[in-house]
A and B are shown apart, each in its own frame.
Chain A
C-alpha cells in the first residue's frame, strides 16, 4: 500500500498538488505510488522559473532506470520555484515524494481548478488500493 495523504489533491497521471502558506501557490510532485512504480529515479528534467503551463500540459520528464515518464501540470499557472536539490539527488523523489522530493511550486491561475482534481480516496480507487 502506498502513502496517499488525505490533505492533497491528485491527478490520474499520478501528480499531487499540495497547498502552501501562500494561498495562490501550490507545490507539485509525483505520488508515492508513482515513484514506486517508476523505481530508482535518475534524472528529473524540470522547467525554468517563470514558465507557464496550461492545465495538464507536460511540464517536465522523469527518467528512472527502467522507464521514462512525462510530468503533467495539474493546474494552469506559472512556475515560481523549482526544486534544484533534485539536480544532484534525484532519488529524493523516491525517498520523500511529498516532502524533499517535490518538483515545482506554481502560482495558480484559477484556484477553482482544484475542484477538478481527485481527492485522496478517489485517487486510492484510481490506483486500485
Chain B
C-alpha cells in the first residue's frame, strides 16, 4: 500500500495511527474510511459532527492590482459580487464552456484565493497561468503550505465555538473570518461538501495536527474519510468533478446555472459558448435517480439505456448508508430529464430499472440566509 510516488497530507501519521484504510486518490495517500466504517461516519455527520482531512485540495493565491479582473476572466461566477470575507462556488471553464474544474473563490481584503480539486491542481494551474497575459497579478500555488479540515454536521458550530474568539455563530453561509482557533492561526469558512451545516478550517500545514487533535480528541468530532464524503455529497446533490461534471459538460447541463453570470460585465473564458448554449437550449441535463430493483447498486460508468438506446453512463452511483437505497446521477436528454422518467442501467450484463427523482436526495441543512 505504501507507494512512494504518492503525496501525503500533514495528517498522514494520524490517519495511520487511527487505523484508517489508506488509498491512492488524486496523487495522495488518503483515508477512505476509519475503523468505524463509512455508514457510521456518514451518520456522524448527518446527526452529530465529523471532521475530514481534505488537505489534498489545491489552493491558488492571486494578488496584485488586477486580481479581481483576472479571476473574473478565469471563472464564470461574478467575483464583483463578493465583499471581502465572502466566498462563492464557481467554475473554471474551457472556451467551449465545459469544466476545467469547479472551485471556490475566496475574497480577502488584499487577495483572492481559489480552492480547486486535488486531481486537477496542475491542469488548473497551467490553464490559469496561460491566461495571465499582461495582467498585473501574482499567482502562487500554495497547495502544499495549506492544510484544510472540514468540520461538518449539526453539532459543528457548538464544537468549534468554545475553541475560538471568532464569533462563529455570526459567520453566514459562504462567508469566512480570520483568527485563532486554540492558538492556531486559520480562517474559518462556513462552507462544506456534505449538505450539513459546518465549517472549513484553512491553516498552515504544520498546525493541522494540533487542530485535528482538538476537534477529534477533546471535542468528539468523528474522523471521517473520503468514502463518507462521497456518500454525503451525493445525497446532498453536490457534483463531483470527474463524475458529474468534466470537460465535456457545461454548468447549464449540470444544473449549475447559478454559478454562470453571463451579464457580469466582464468577459470570461467560455462566455461565448455558454451564451450560445443559453440561446439554443441544452440538449441534456444531469438528473438524480434511484434504482428500482432491490439489492442492486448502480456504479460509476455503467451504461444508461433510455428507450433501447444508450444515452449516457452512470456518473455517480452508490448506496446511501442511511436510507439503504441505491442512488446515482446521469445525463438524460432534456425532454426526459424530469422526475418519474424510467430508464435502465446495465448492471453486469443485466438491465435494471431506475427512475429519475428530484435532487438533492436528502434536504440540505446548511445555514442559508
Contact = CB atoms under 8 A, between A and B. Distances in A.
A65 B227 CA distance: 8
B37 A63 contact: no
Contacts of A36: 21
A43 B295 contact: yes
A94 B296 CA distance: 19
Interface in A45-104: 45, 61, 63, 65-66, 68, 91, 94
Q: Which interface class (under 10, 10 to 19, 20 to 34, 35 or more) fits B?
A: 10 to 19
Contacts, number: 44
Contact of B297 (A39, A40, A42, A94): A42
Question: What DSSP secondary structure best describes chain A's contact surface?
Answer: mixed
B32 interface: yes
Contacts of B324: 42
Q: Which of B32, B39, B324 is most buried by chain A, counting CB atoms within 10 A of its CB?
A: B39
A120 to B, nearest CB: 22
A71 to B, nearest CB: 13
Contacts of B230: 66
A42 B324 CA distance: 7
B163 to A, nearest CB: 31
A45 B350 CA distance: 14
> What are the 10 closest A-B residue pairs judged by CB atoms, nearest first?
A43-B295, A65-B38, A40-B37, A40-B39, A63-B297, A42-B319, A40-B38, A66-B227, A45-B295, A39-B33
Interface of B: 21, 32-33, 37-39, 227, 230-231, 294-297, 299, 318-319, 321, 324, 348
29 contacts: A36-B21, A37-B21, A39-B33, A39-B37, A39-B227, A40-B37, A40-B39, A40-B321, A42-B319, A42-B321, A43-B295, A43-B296, A43-B297, A45-B295, A61-B348, A63-B295, A63-B297, A65-B227, A65-B231, A65-B318, A65-B321, A66-B38, A66-B227, A66-B230, A66-B318, A68-B297, A68-B299, A91-B39, A94-B37
